[in-house]
């Protein structure tokens, strides 16, 4: 497969990359305190935060893996995201006021106030592990495209790309992250639109042909309507979507940090509405790209396509079928998708490391300048870990990266969603009850994870699909915490302003 580099593509991508570097330098001079570095002085408008949310949550897994899923099968994985508008209503009405109260910076500060130190530490470490794995996956995905473009070995591409993203993130803090995410979200939307336009342009029947042929091959199906939890039916994926998005809106640091960065609760709510209004149509667009690619190669067969992994088909189309400059824009969009997720993750891990680990535990009572310098060092260290993780992924056998992402979230997600939901909606569960339930649920999580990996003999393993591990663990935690909380008696900390039932007490 001979993919030549065109000067116009290189120039387009370099212009984009230079803009990212310039943003890092510009915002570096504005970071005088940790408040600046972590939440940008809490001064952003709703539309800026909303587009930043879009850039953060929508990664190269969206740009590459969603079209791959639609190309190979159908649209059933879109079902995960159909629940977003409903969960967003909960965020606007309930979650955002909690995190805006008291100028919180980290999602896990709430867990500390609600339950105490152990759940807070658990939440922090779970988030860090999940983010490191997710960022490593995303960095690897985008480097597949860059490897196509340059022909350089994947390991060197991963190192160069990871260091570049880490550089402007370490320098610029959350302001650089948010404003570059806005630009990256816009480029992502433009890139997706250009893909659809060009595929339709190359087909004699255009969009109508894509819809007609796709329908004939059942490519628009949202999955079987059978209620069978052992298969990826519509209901299975829908339930998983509820659990996934509850966890993101209710306690994901990337989202919470954006709630906190808005200049008011009203702007934070506006941001969530902006994000939701754009995100679902955009996910649909990327599934449509996958179906369009299926129709395109059905009518324009290419022997190379049969040799590619599903995640490589869109990059191959971009580099072989699109004209100069247009392909450069779309390559920039793929890179932007990875950057927007990675820069947010690096900054978020730096934030929780300082706010939830150093300030209350590892390095109490230091000057703010000490914590600011530590945040820079942590961000740099995280960048190195992500690069190493991406290199590891490049050496592994893998299925579709979207499937891997779902499996990782289920196996390693633990009880985070349950912790936040029980904290928000119950008064009965106190810190001791939550800690006991947490310990039991984590042991259960480890057992299910080992079972899913096939390590245990079949007689000792529970035959459950890895997608369901997160749901089962959160369910076990919720039941255990509620039961233990109902049995326990004694003095409990004040819940003023910490549950939906006591929120008005803090006003």
| One domain, residues 291 and 150 | yes
In contact, 413 and 126? CB cutoff 8 Å: yes
| One domain, residues 196 and 83 | yes
**Of 333, 363, 397, at which residue does a domain stop?**
397
Residue 316 in domain: yes
CATH code of residue 59: 1.20.1730.10
For 187, the domain range is: 7-25+42-397
What does the block give as tokens for 90?
């909960």
Distance CA 439, CA 403 (A): 28
Distance CA 343, CA 183 (A): 13
Residue found under tokens 């342009």: 201
- Domain total of the chain: 2
Residue 36 in domain: no
| One domain, residues 393 and 421 | no
**Of 337, 371, 397, at which residue does a domain stop?**
397
Instruction: Name residue 44's beta-bridge partners.
Output: 262
| One domain, residues 190 and 283 | yes
| One domain, residues 380 and 425 | no
pLDDT for res 180: 81
| One domain, residues 382 and 466 | no
| One domain, residues 167 and 248 | yes
User: Which residues contact residue 336 at a Cβ distance below 8 angstroms, ignoring those fewer than 6 apart?
Assistant: 16, 55, 183, 184, 185, 187, 188, 191
| One domain, residues 57 and 85 | yes
| One domain, residues 342 and 385 | yes
Residue 406 in domain: no
pLDDT along the chain (507 residues), means of 10: 64 81 77 85 90 79 80 87 92 89 86 91 89 85 75 87 83 82 83 87 88 91 74 79 88 90 93 93 91 91 82 80 79 75 86 92 89 91 92 70 55 80 90 92 82 72 74 90 84 78 67
pLDDT for res 463: 73
Residue 32 in domain: no
pLDDT for res 56: 79
| One domain, residues 432 and 303 | no
| One domain, residues 314 and 441 | no
pLDDT for res 408: 62
Residue 507 in domain: yes
Distance CA 114, CA 413 (A): 20
User: Which residues contact residue 196 at a Cβ distance below 8 angstroms, ignoring those fewer than 6 apart?
Assistant: 207, 285, 288, 289, 292
pLDDT for res 321: 81
pLDDT for res 229: 62
Q: What backbone phi and psi angles, to 5 degrees, belong to 115?
A: -120, -30
**Of 339, 372, 397, at which residue does a domain stop?**
397
What is the pTM for the complete model shown? 0.85
Residue 37 in domain: no
| One domain, residues 375 and 235 | yes
Going 312 to 316 to 322 to 327, the CA torsion angle's sign is: positive
């Amino acid at each position: 497969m001979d993919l030549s580099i065109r000067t116009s593509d290189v120039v387009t991508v370099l212009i984009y990359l230079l803009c990212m570097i310039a943003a890092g330098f510009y915002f570096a001079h504005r970071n005088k305190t940790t408040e600046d570095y972590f939440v940008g002085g809490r001064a952003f408008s709703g539309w800026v935060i909303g587009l930043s949310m879009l850039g953060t949550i929508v990664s190269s897994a969206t740009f590459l893996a969603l079209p791959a899923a639609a190309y190979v099968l159908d649209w059933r994985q879109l079902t995960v995201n159909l629940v977003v508008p409903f969960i967003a209503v909960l965020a606007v009405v309930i979650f955002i006021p909690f995190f805006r109260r008291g100028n919180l910076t980290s999602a896990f500060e709430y867990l500390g106030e609600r339950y105490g130190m152990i759940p807070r530490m658990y939440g922090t470490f779970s988030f860090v592990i999940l983010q490191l794995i997710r960022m490593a996956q995303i960095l690897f995905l985008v480097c597949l495209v860059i490897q196509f473009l340059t022909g350089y070995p994947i390991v060197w591409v991963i190192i160069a790309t990871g260091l570049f993203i880490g550089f402007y993130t370490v320098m610029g803090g959350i302001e650089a992250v948010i404003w570059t995410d806005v630009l990256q979200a816009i480029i992502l939307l433009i890139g997706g639109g250009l893909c659809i336009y060009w595929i339709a342009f190359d087909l004699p029947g255009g969009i109508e042909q894509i819809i007609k042929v796709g329908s004939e091959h059942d490519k628009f199906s949202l999955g079987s309507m059978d209620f069978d939890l052992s298969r990826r039916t519509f209901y299975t994926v829908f339930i998983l979507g509820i659990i996934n998005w509850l966890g993101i809106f209710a306690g994901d640091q990337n989202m919470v940090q954006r709630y906190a960065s808005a200049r008011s609760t009203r702007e934070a709510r506006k941001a969530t509405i902006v994000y939701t209004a754009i995100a679902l149509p955009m996910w649909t667009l990327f599934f449509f790209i996958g179906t369009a690619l299926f129709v395109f190669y059905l009518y324009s067969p290419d022997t190379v396509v049969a040799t590619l992994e599903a995640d490589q088909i869109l990059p191959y189309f971009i580099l072989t079928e699109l004209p100069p400059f247009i392909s450069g824009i779309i390559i920039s969009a793929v890179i932007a998708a990875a950057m927007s997720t990675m820069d947010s993750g690096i900054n978020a891990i730096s934030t929780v490391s300082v706010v939830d680990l150093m300030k209350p535990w590892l390095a109490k009572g230091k000057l703010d300048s000490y914590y600011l310098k530590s945040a820079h060092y942590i961000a740099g260290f995280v960048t190195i870990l992500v690069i190493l993780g991406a290199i590891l992924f490049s050496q592994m056998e893998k299925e579709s990266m979207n499937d891997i992402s779902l499996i990782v979230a289920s196996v390693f997600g633990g009880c985070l969603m349950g912790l936040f939901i029980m904290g928000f909606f119950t008064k009965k569960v106190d810190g001791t009850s939550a800690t006991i339930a947490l310990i039991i649920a984590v042991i259960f999580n480890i057992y299910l994870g080992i079972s899913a990996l096939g390590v245990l003999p079949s007689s000792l393993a529970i035959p459950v699909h890895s997608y369901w591990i997160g749901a089962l663990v959160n369910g076990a935690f919720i039941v255990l915490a509620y039961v233990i909380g109902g049995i326990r008696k004694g003095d409990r900390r004040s819940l003023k302003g910490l549950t939906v039932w006591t929120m008005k007490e803090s006003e």
